[in-house]
Structure formats: structure tokens, C-alpha cells
Amino acid sequence: MGARVLVVEDDRAMAHLVTRALEREGHTVTTVYCAADAGDALAAGDFDLLVLDLFLPDGDGLAVCSQLREVHDVPVLMISSLDAELGESVVGTPFGPNAFLAKPFRFDELVAHARQLLAGQEG
């Protein structure tokens, strides 16, 4: 059975591609395009994974992640065009993401990260 995934990505073409890759894996995906809508979706739904862009038009993904951590324990995969080494520096911080994936990425990498994070939730 698939997981419930929230994708937060302001680039609609990228959001569509990420959503389709995750749906092909059998997941149920909700897609939003800004930080405000992410907050609303998280308040209204119960998600197993959050795929979150770092740079959003109305805020940044780290702030969304930090707010999420205050009330939910859902794994977060941060995606960004930020340099991979810099992006990895936020992984593992108290209010940071569980994993980071630098754009451009292959969708099999995205799926592999999602599987790994979701597998950690099963135990």
C-alpha cells in the first residue's frame, strides 16, 4: 500500500514530474505550490512523507520544516538547486530535513530517497 505524500514545489513543471514519479510508485500525492498552502495541507491531512523545495515564493522550506517539526514527526526530503554540499549541511539539524536532494536529479534518486525515508517510518 502506498504512502501519503505532500509535495511542496513552486515550479509547477517540476512539481508535476515529482508527483508523477511518486504516483507511479503507488503513493497518494497532494501537491501544493507555496509555504502557506503547505501549512494548510499539513494542518488538514496526515502525511507519511513531505517532499519540500527549499526556496518557495512566500517563504523558505527550512521555515516550513521547522514549523512542521514542532507538531509532526513526518520525514522530510528537501529538494533544491542549492549546491549539494551546502544542502547536506542542513540535514540532521534539530529542525531540518531528514535528507537532501540537489536539482537537477534523476527521478530514480527521488524514489530511492522516498523509499528509504518511508522504510524508516515502518519500524
The pLDDT assigned to 83 comes to: 64
Task: List the CATH code of the domain at 4-122.
Answer: 3.40.50.2300
Q: Is 69 helix (H, G, I), strand (E, B) or coil?
A: helix
| CA dihedral angle for residue 78, residue 2, residue 44, residue 42, rounded to 10 degrees | -10
pLDDT category at 123 given cuts 50, 70, 90 is very low
C-alpha cell at 70: 514542532
pLDDT category at 80 given cuts 50, 70, 90 is confident
12-65 confidence digits (pLDDT tens) = 999 999 999 999 999 999 999 999 999 899 888 899 999 999 889 998 888 888
The pLDDT assigned to 70 comes to: 79
pTM of the model: 0.91
14-28 confidence digits (pLDDT tens) = 999 999 999 999 999
The pLDDT assigned to 30 comes to: 97
For the segment 89-99, the average pLDDT, to the nearest whole number, is 76
Domain boundaries, the chain: 4-122
Cα–Cα distances in angstroms (integers) from residue 57 to residues 6, 9, 114, 115, in the given order = 17, 10, 24, 28
Does the pLDDT value for residue 11 go beyond 90?
yes
Q: Which are the contacts of 38, defined by CB distance < 8 A and separation ≥ 6?
A: 6, 8, 32, 50, 52, 56, 64
The pLDDT assigned to 1 comes to: 66
C-alpha cell at 13: 513543471
